[in-house]
Amino acid sequence: MKAVLILEDKTRFAGESYGGDGIAIGEVVFNTGMTGYQEILTDPSYCGQIVAMTYPLIGNYGINKDDFESHKSFVRGFITRERCEKPSNFRSAGTLGEYLAKQGIPGLYGIDTRKLTKILREKGTMKGVIVPEGFSDEAAARMAAGFTLCNPVDEVTLSRPVEHVPETGACGLHAAVLDYGVKRNIVRSLLKRGIKVTVFPADTSADELLGGKFDGVMLSNGPGDPKDCRVEIENIRKMAGRIPIFAICLGHQLAALAMGGDTGKLRYGHRGCNHPVKDVARDRTYITSQNHGYTVLADSLGAGTACITHVNMNDMTVEGIRYMGIPMFSVQFHPEASPGPGDTAYLFDEFTEMMNDYKLKEKQDA
The residue type of 154 is D
For residue 163, indicate whether it is catalytic. no
Q: DSSP per residue over 243-299, as a string?
A: S-EEEETHHHHHHHHHTT--EEEEEEEEEEEEEEEEETTTTEEEEEEEEEEEEE-GG
Q: Which of 154, 174, 254 is nearest to 217 (CA)?
A: 174
Which residue in 39, 249, 270, 319 is the catalytic one? 249
Query: If 0-12 CB within 10 Å is exposed, 13-18 middle and 19+ buried, where does residue 356 land?
Result: middle
Strand 284-296 vs strand 263-279: parallel, antiparallel, or unpaired? antiparallel
Which residue in 8, 69, 232, 336 is the catalytic one? 336
For residue 84, indicate whether it is catalytic. no
Number of Cβ within 10 Å of residue 136's Cβ equals 11
Q: Which of 224, 247, 232 is nearest to 335 (CA)?
A: 247
Residue 348 has what DSSP assignment? H
Distances (CA, A) of 17 to 3, 77, 108, 224, 313: 5, 11, 5, 27, 37
d(CA 178, CA 158): 9
Query: If 0-12 CB within 10 Å is exposed, 13-18 middle and 19+ buried, where does residue 308 land?
Result: middle
Residue 186: in which H helix or E strand, if any? helix 184-192
For residue 334, indicate whether it is catalytic. yes
d(CA 192, CA 194): 5
Active-site amino acid positions? 249, 334, 336
